[in-house]
Amino acid sequence: MTKLLDLAVEAARVLPPELQDDIARVVLRLAGDEEPPATLSATERAALERSKAAAARGEFATDEQVRAVWAKHGL
């Protein structure tokens, strides 16, 4: 292990577990040990196609709608 990678691992050790897991996922992805892509259900695929079509028509959520979703989830 290089000195820089060792320093990065040591820095990550003091972070909360969820942040450590995020870092681990990034490292694994960069190292080529990716998880297989998620398989979408027919319902999810249809929702994605509707979303892409709306975006192509220029239909986007307003700032107020986005803030309402954020507030709903405590963000």
Neighbouring residues of 9: CB distance < 8 A, sequence distance ≥ 6: 1
Report, as an integer, the average pLDDT of 27-56: 89
Report, as an integer, the average pLDDT of 6-18: 95
Identity at 12, one-letter amino acid code: A
Q: What is the pLDDT of residue 34?
A: 66
pTM here is 0.44
Give the closest residue to 12 by CA, choosing from 3, 1, 23.
Answer: 23
* Domain boundaries, given as residue ranges, for the chain: 1-35, 42-72
Per the prediction, the chain carries an average pLDDT of 92
